[in-house]
Structures are given as structure tokens and as C-alpha cells.
Structure 1
């Protein structure tokens, strides 16, 4: 069991969920109620989690 790979997968999933939520907020908001702060926070956190999770999974070597 490789703990780094599991943590990388969890980060990747959190990043995907956050990016999907940011896209959903963007698509459902009207012009008057668009919350820019929420979009930016979830978008940046989602991108950060996604990239770090993918990087962690890629750089971790399988050793048995």
C-alpha cells in the first residue's frame, strides 16, 4: 500500500470536484448574482489540488 499514491488520488478527486463545482456556479449564476469570489476561490483551489495530485501520482515510484 503506497500512501503517497492514495493521497495523490484523493487530491486529484478533490480537485476535480472543486473544478466541477466552480463550473456549476458559473453556469447557474445570472448576470446580477454572479459571485466572482466564489468562482475564483473554488477554481484556484481545484486547479491546485488537481495539479498537485496528478504530480504526486506521477512521481511516486512503485516499489514492492
Structure 2
């Protein structure tokens, strides 16, 4: 899994009736875009996450090129 700051992390609900969770990746703490990630939820809550197989990175369409 590879992510960059500004991407979104989609975590699918684990039980029937539980909604998917989408959070913005505000910091990538692993080397080369790997986990753990610092996430910010829509309500402003931040958490440190090492996503499992139920998560998918949604890359942003517009990203600055690194030099």
C-alpha cells in the first residue's frame, strides 16, 4: 500500500450495517508512502492507523511533482 499526503483512506465496514469510513491522510510516517498514516476524519478527529486488508487508498487526482 502506498499513499501520499492529501490522499484518502477508505475503510470498509466490518459488520452488516456498519458504514464505510473515509478519512484524509494528513501525514505518511512510513518509508516510500507505506503505513502508518495519520488520518483526519470529517469531524476533525485525528488518529494513527496501519490499515488492514479492508482498506483502500484513494489517490488524489492533483498532486505536486516531487523534485
Shorter-chain TM range is under 0.3
Q: Quick one: higher RCO (CA 8 Å, sep 6+), 1 or 2?
A: 1
Question: Normalized per residue, which structure has more strand?
Answer: 2
Question: Normalized per residue, which structure has more helix?
Answer: 1
